[in-house]
Amino acid sequence: MSQQQQLSLHGFIPDAEVKISLHTLHAICGMPPQRIFEHCIVWVPKNPFKPVMGAGQVNQIEQYRITSSADISKEETEPKVVGFHENPDVLQKRRWTLQIHEIPEAGKRKVTSQSILTSTIVDGDEPFNFMDKLGYKYSYEYWQRGYRFILGDIVLTLFRICIQDTSSTDEIKPLKLLDPSGRWTMKAHINVRQLTDMEGINNATSQLEKLQTDLTGVVDLVMPDRNCLNTRIK
């Protein structure tokens, strides 16, 4: 499992403005958009740790949700996709990457700074059985659809989150947007090897700030409340 420090900014774009935004990003990045379509499953501990705290004591043990993601951009083109409860055996055959996102660093900062642990499950392993042995169980799932651009060290993603439409009577549920307004999320991020790499941190911060300025009038890239990115089990 590898650990990286991710620096990022986020913003939102109305659906009515996404086409012009894609053209702008195409021009700035000098590349056409890359289509992204990911299936994400979130796992939680089967037995959450609930310490009995005395007066003045601080909990030193934190448990986090784990997100497993698989790239399905090349295998699924229809709006209907297979969910966890519909055919887990089929999903086990995909190549899944596990991530643990720690809560972003506190303090006065110009960009979000967050530690991320990443591990890819090797071929031959059964990822869901592995999660069960790890002491985790299925919590929920979602699909991320959108576009990706690369600008120097910056990875830019413009995406929307979809979930299955449980009101459908179809055997395999179609997808629907989680946000009915249809707006898009833009994330700009740079991964740095470690938090102690101050040169890398400063360089990444400068690149993100420049992008923030360059995209003025297109999208307002900001730091979200750190609690919005908190995956700890409470």
Q: Which of 65-74, 91-100, 101-110, 207-216 holds the top average pLDDT?
A: 207-216
Per residue in 51-65, pLDDT (tens digit) is 665 565 555 677 889
Overall average pLDDT of the 56-80 stretch: 76
Range of the domain at 86: 2-48+61-229
Tokens of residue 111, six digits: 């960009």
Per residue in 143-183, pLDDT (tens digit) is 999 999 999 999 999 999 999 998 888 877 889 999 999 99
Residue 54: inside a domain: no
Three-state DSSP class for 72? coil
- Please give the Cα distance from 12 to 185 (Å, whole number): 5
Residue 28: inside a domain: yes
Q: Environment class of residue 116 by beta-carbon count within 10 Å: exposed (0-12), middle (13-18) or buried (19+)? A: middle
Q: How many domains does the chain have?
A: 1
- Give the confidence band of 48 by pLDDT, cuts at 50, 70, 90: confident
Residue 191: inside a domain: yes
CATH number where 117 lies = 2.40.320.10
Residue 137: inside a domain: yes
Q: What percent of the chain has pLDDT over 90?
A: 64
Residue 26: inside a domain: yes
| Region at 125 (left for phi over 0; alpha for psi -120 to 50; beta for the rest) | beta
